[in-house]
Amino acid sequence: MEIAFLLAGKIIELTIIVLLGYALVKSKLLKSQDSYPLSIIGLYLISPSVMINAFQIDYSPQILNGLLLSLTMAVFLHIILIITGVILKRLLNLDPIEHAASIYSNSGNLIIPLVVSMFGQQWVIYATCFIVVQTFLFWTHCRSIICGKGSISILKMFKNINILSIFLGVFLFAFQIKLPPLISGTLSSLGQFIGPNAMLIAGMLIASIPLRNIITSKRIYLVTFLRLILIPIFLLIIIKLCGFDNWVENGETIAMISFLATMSPAAATVTQMALIYGKNANKASAIYGVTTMLCVFSMPLIIALYQLI
């Protein structure tokens, strides 16, 4: 239960940042449109910095086994999420934003600060596998959902800075190449903005939507239920049945970190992509905002259930 309380406290801190972004717009100090440059900074500067810096660790067989477990879980859980998303889309007639928000969680922006707070900096590497797989899917599968494109140029995909940063990080780890302290320190400093930046963007975008539209929207609460309750409980059952926590040393903690990534709020990247590509950013930000605020209650309860089973 201690982990559940730590989780709740950190989520509340990040939720306050959402409210601060909301207050900036409502006080007319900024406009909702001013979140666009923050989205660019988040997608093309902060996120790549996190990816590269996460792999700047020393090699050991224990770390490698843990990485293999977290990578296996990341790929497996995303396959389940994508299949589940297709089924839910057909059953509930989800539009592209609802579809993407139900599948993709805020694993990068939220999970990294949560993992640091609950387990320590040394455990962040195990969160990166889920983020790496999700980042790859963000710029392929998720982008195709939001933009309505059936296919994406492979060449264009591999030119994306987020994909390139993943390959660079893995290359540096594989050959144990350490970046100069000046560079690694810069990347670390940038990476610390990943949570606050995303939360500010959400708050600023939510401020442009009449509160009544959010409160009375049944579709937003439908997606919130899917993202925070139905899908996490479904994945919890699958994870427990597969027994991932017994696969390697410290497997219980590694499996919990992977599970945390699946039950977090709707991905901030969905909102940022909707904003950049001119889609329904208001609806995406409303879903993101509501799921972020309500996850204060859902995540601690579900992680407590995870520990009890």
Placement of tokens 């990816």 in the chain: 51
- C-alpha closest to that of 42 among 269, 202, 270: 269
Stretch 140-145: mean pLDDT, rounded?
88
The Cβ-side half-sphere exposure at 156, using a 13 Å CA radius, reads 6
Query: What pLDDT is recorded for position 83?
Result: 96
CA distances (Å), 112 to each of 47, 84, 215, 247, in order? 11, 25, 30, 23
How much is the mean pLDDT over the chain? 87
pLDDT tens digits, 70-100 = 999 999 999 999 999 999 999 999 999 999 9
- C-alpha closest to that of 138 among 92, 84, 78, 88: 78
Stretch 131-157: mean pLDDT, rounded?
77
In the predicted structure, residue 209 carries a pLDDT above the cut 80: no
In the predicted structure, residue 24 carries a pLDDT above the cut 80: yes
In the predicted structure, residue 37 carries a pLDDT above the cut 80: yes
Most confident by average pLDDT, 27-41, 44-58, 221-235: 221-235
Query: What pLDDT is recorded for position 150?
Result: 52
Which overall architecture, per CATH, does domain 2-308 show? Up-down Bundle (1.20)
- C-alpha closest to that of 257 among 102, 15, 66: 66
In the predicted structure, residue 152 carries a pLDDT above the cut 60: no
- Percent of the chain clearing pLDDT 70 (strictly above): 96
The Cβ-side half-sphere exposure at 301, using a 13 Å CA radius, reads 9
Query: What pLDDT is recorded for position 154?
Result: 63
Query: What pLDDT is recorded for position 110?
Result: 77
Cα separation, 191 vs 96, in Å, equals 29
Query: What pLDDT is recorded for position 44?
Result: 87
In the predicted structure, residue 41 carries a pLDDT above the cut 80: yes
Query: What pLDDT is recorded for position 8?
Result: 82
Stretch 2-8: mean pLDDT, rounded?
79
Lowest mean pLDDT among 12-21, 153-162, 249-258: 153-162
In the predicted structure, residue 159 carries a pLDDT above the cut 80: no
pLDDT tens digits, 45-66 = 998 898 888 888 888 899 899 9
